[in-house]
Each structure stands twice: as structure tokens, then as C-alpha cells.
């Protein structure tokens, strides 16, 4: 388990992480979400002892990372896939990691096979694609067979098959009872991969819940109604608004919040309008995330 207690980190007058308190439990994939600059990478670096908090604590299974006798056996991490000497081969890079932590040399071949790099293990890392370097970084995280794993944007540079492989790997690691913390900006992938979500904005905790609870709490479901005639759309919209529903038009569709599909269907029947479609539209993780973090984005463009 990873425990953060009032974790705070400042850089000059900027607070990168602000009193963050949360538990990352074992046996689950926890998605770590937030806009660029929200403090996700800084938080992970403090868990791994790479940055020192100004106040608060970050512990792994009750201990600080600096106090671990054999870190790779306790915590595996991929923070930066490019942080590898380009002149070393993938196998040599992992071998150096293994020997520095007292791990058997045979473990290198095992993790290379796990991530699908056995055939290029002897090639220099400088010749690897971004996706191959991501796989090498994941191999390094798995090297000590640790119970706690942290991955920062692990699917960057991977093709669709590689993204699916990472998803299956994360879920299988959590299924073995490990603690798995994964940051990503790919909301659709997080919706498929994560069991729980921790969402931060400007260094503060915004949400800590299951994926389903997060979506339900931060994005209302909609009913979508498709009407081919503009006059019918106006009639139905007026009737639904009079009943207290929120109605917005999108081409030949009306999006309705605050009324169920049965109520919308009855209103359409009572108005005598022609429908070409009526369906409940479930909210996505992306919609819920964007609604929650709309005021937390530091680097927003103009739309």
C-alpha cells in the first residue's frame, strides 16, 4: 500500500502538491489523473524519494523509500522511458539494475520475455522506438517482482496492440494482489483499466473513488432524442423545459438532462412529434473528468 499524509511540495512561490492525503490500496489498479502541472509526477517522485516533501509523508508498506534495503524488490517504477543510456543494450541496462539490487541475472531474460523485447535485447537503446523504450521501462519496474508498482504515462508511444497489452498487464498485476498506481491522460483507457481513481488539480485532492462512483458523481446521464423536423424539436424542447429538464440542441438531436428516457418518451407522445431515435446516453469518464477539472487547468488554450 502507498500512503500519502498531508504531502506538500513547493517550488519557490508555486505549490506543486498541496496537503495531499490518500491511500493507494493493494489488489486494485488506481488511475492517477489530473491536468498537466497538477502535481502527479511530483507526487510519484516523492513516493520514490527523488523529491523531498516540504511537509507530510509518503510511505510504501509503512516505510519511506530511502529506508528500503532492496528497493527493486519493494517498489517498481516507470517515470521516464527516456532515462536510459542510449549506448547500452536493453539487456545490459537491466543487468546493471539487477546486480545493483542483488537480483539473479536470469531475471533479466524473464522480464524481457514478459514485455516482448527478447529479440532486440542486444541492441542499443538509442535505436529503440518510443514504444520499445516504454516496454524496457516496464521491464525495469518488474525486475524485482515488487508488490508495489508506479507507472507514469506507460502507454505513450505504444500502438493499439501495445496499449491493450499494458491494460491486461496492469489488471493481471493487481489481480495478484499488488498495488498498481498508473497516471495517464487517456481517459478512455483509464475507464477500461482502472478500478479506482485519484484525481488532483493544482496539487489538491479532487476525488478518490471507484470509476463508476466518479462518473456518477461528476457527470449527469443524458437522454438523446433524434427528431427529423425542426418544428418538432422546438415543440418537444419547450415541453421538456417547462417540466424542469435541461435541453440542448445538437443538429437533429436534443440532449436532455433531468428527465429519464420514459419521461422524454411520454412527452414526445403527448406532443405528437415524430421521433427517429430515443436512447439513454451514459456519461464517459472523459466527460466526468473534464467537468470536474474545468477550473483546475493551468495551461488552457483558447477554443
pLDDT grade, residue 302 (50/70/90)? very low
Identify the three-state secondary structure at position 21.
Answer: strand
pLDDT score at 303:
44
- Annotate 136-160 with DSSP letters as a single string: HHHHHHHTT--SEEEEESTTTT--H
pLDDT at 170 over 50: yes
Report long-range pairs for 46-50 (Cβ below 8 Å, ≥24 apart). 46/7, 46/9, 46/17, 47/2, 47/4, 47/75, 47/150, 48/75, 48/77, 48/79, 48/150, 50/79
pLDDT score at 300:
52
Instruction: Using the structure block, give the residue that is written with the C-alpha cell 518488474.
Output: 142
pLDDT at 290 over 90: no
pLDDT at 207 over 80: yes
Handedness of CA 253, 256, 261, 264 (dihedral sign): negative
Per residue in 1-16, pLDDT tens? Answer: 999 999 999 999 999 9
Per residue in 88-135, pLDDT tens? Answer: 999 999 999 999 999 999 999 999 999 999 999 999 999 999 999 999
pLDDT score at 4:
97
The residue ranges of DSSP E strands in the chain, in sequence order, are: 2-11, 14-24, 28-33, 55-60, 75-78, 148-152, 179-183, 196-201, 204-210, 222-226, 246-250, 253-257, 277-281
DSSP bridge pairs for 33: 199
Q: What percent of the chain has pLDDT over 90?
A: 81
Per residue in 141-164, pLDDT tens? Answer: 999 999 999 999 999 888 999 999
Domains of the chain: 2-217 (3.40.50.300), 220-282 (3.30.70.790)
Per residue in 218-244, pLDDT tens? Answer: 776 789 999 999 999 999 999 999 999
Q: In what order do the strands lie in the sheet with 253-257?
A: 246-250, 253-257, 222-226, 277-281
Please name which of 185, 180, 219, 216 lies closest in space to residue 199, comparing C-alpha atoms.
185
- Strand 14-24 versus strand 2-11 pairing type: antiparallel
Using CB atoms within 10 Å of the CB of residue 242, give its burial: 0 to 12 exposed, 13 to 18 middle, 19+ buried. Answer: exposed
Distance between CA atoms of 301 and 303, rounded to whole angstroms? Answer: 6
pTM above 0.95, yes or no: no
Amino acid at each position: 500500500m502507498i500512503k500519502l499524509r498531508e504531502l506538500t511540495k513547493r517550488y519557490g512561490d508555486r505549490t506543486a502538491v498541496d496537503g495531499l492525503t490518500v491511500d493507494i490500496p493493494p489488489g486494485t489498479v488506481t488511475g492517477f489523473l489530473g491536468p498537466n502541472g497538477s502535481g502527479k509526477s511530483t507526487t510519484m517522485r516523492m513516493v520514490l524519494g527523488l523529491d523531498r516533501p516540504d511537509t507530510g509523508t509518503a510511505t510504501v508498506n509503512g516505510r519511506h523509500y530511502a529506508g528500503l534495503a532492496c528497493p527493486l524488490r519493494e517498489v517498481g517504477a516507470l517515470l521516464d522511458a527516456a532515462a536510459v543510456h542510449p549506448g547500452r543494450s536493453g539487456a545490459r541496462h537491466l543487468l546493471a539494475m539487477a546486480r545493483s539490487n542483488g537480483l539473479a541475472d536470469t531475471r533479466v531474460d524473464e522480464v524481457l520475455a514478459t514485455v516482448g523485447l527478447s529479440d532486440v535485447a542486444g541492441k542499443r537503446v538509442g535505436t529503440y522506438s518510443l514504444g520499445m523504450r516504454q516496454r524496457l521501462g516496464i521491464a525495469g519496474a518488474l525486475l524485482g517482482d515488487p508488490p508495489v508498482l508506479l507507472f507514469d504515462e506507460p502507454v505513450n508511444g505504444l500502438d493499439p496492440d501495445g496499449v491493450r497489452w499494458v491494460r491486461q498487464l496492469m489488471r493481471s498485476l493487481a489481480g495478484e494482489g499488488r498495488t498498481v498506481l498508473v497516471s495517464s491522460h487517456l481517459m478512455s483507457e483509464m475507464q477500461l483499466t482502472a478500478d479506482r481513481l485519484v484525481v488532483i488539480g493544482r496539487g489538491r485532492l479532487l476525488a478518490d473513488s471507484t470509476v463508476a462512483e466518479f462518473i456518477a458523481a461528476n457527470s449527469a446521464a443524458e437522454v438523446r432524442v433524434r427528431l427529423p423536423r425542426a418544428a418538432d424539436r422546438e415543440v418537444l424542447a419547450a415541453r421538456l423545459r417547462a417540466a424542469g429538464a435541461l435541453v440542448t440542441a445538437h443538429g437533429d438531436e436534443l440532449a436532455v438532462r433531468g428527465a429519464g428516457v420514459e419521461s422524454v418518451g411520454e412527452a414526445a407522445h403527448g406532443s405528437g412529434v415524430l421521433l427517429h431515435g430515443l436512447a439513454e446516453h451514459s456519461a464517459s469518464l472523459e466527460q466526468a473528468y473534464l467537468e470536474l477539472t474545468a477550473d483546475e487547468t493551468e495551461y488552457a488554450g483558447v477554443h
